[in-house]
Amino acid sequence: MKNLWKIALLSLALTICGACNDDDEADTPLTPNANNIAGTWQLTQFDGATLAEGSYVYVEFIRKDMKFKMYDNLDAFQLRILTGEFNILEEEGQGTVIRGKYDHAVGDWQHVYRIDEFTAERMVWTAVDDPQDVSVYERCAGIPEDQE
């Protein structure tokens, strides 16, 4: 009888543990910084609309060097790769912002972006000087081989 109770309690404990959902962690708001933004992100929405079929933007953030590498085909029918440096910081009255500068004397990003939402799997950027300019990025495993 003792063993039956032990088995029943163990089964109950396993059921409770199995019911825990790891999805909550992916939705937990985080404070963006160089550590947790590092990795590859895909632009999934721009100004409230999804990208046109066949269009893509991937951004890889490299924490160690504060560098980025962007892969896109928005302005051309072929792949374009842009590289540069980025910085994430807290700005009074704005919250956390991200700004970047392209390599090869191309200049600064068009906007400084406020990171309005940030989780382990999703981030929303809003241009500080143009609140209608909103970009949604989702974390991905890496740049697809056919787009490198």
Question: Residue 29 in 3-state DSSP?
Answer: coil
Percent helix, strand and coil across the chain, each rounded to 5? 20, 45, 35
Tell me the pLDDT tens digit for each residue of 90-105: 999 889 999 999 998 7
Mean pLDDT score across all residues of the chain: 85
Instruction: Spell out the long-range contacts of 96-103 with Cβ–Cβ below 8 A and sequence spacing 24 or more.
Output: 96/31, 96/32, 97/128, 98/32, 98/37, 98/125, 100/68
Any idea where the domains of the chain sit in the sequence?
29-142
Tell me the pLDDT tens digit for each residue of 19-41: 555 555 668 999 999 999 999 99
Q: Is the pLDDT assigned to residue 72 strictly greater than 70?
A: yes
Contact present, 79 and 73 (Cβ < 8 Å): yes
- How far apart are the C-alpha atoms of 131 and 5, rounded to whole Å? 61
The CATH number given to 29-142 is 2.40.128.280
Identify any residues that bridge with 26 across adjacent strands, giving them in sequence order: none
- How far apart are the C-alpha atoms of 46 and 49, rounded to whole Å? 5
- How far apart are the C-alpha atoms of 84 and 61, rounded to whole Å? 10
pTM of the model: 0.79
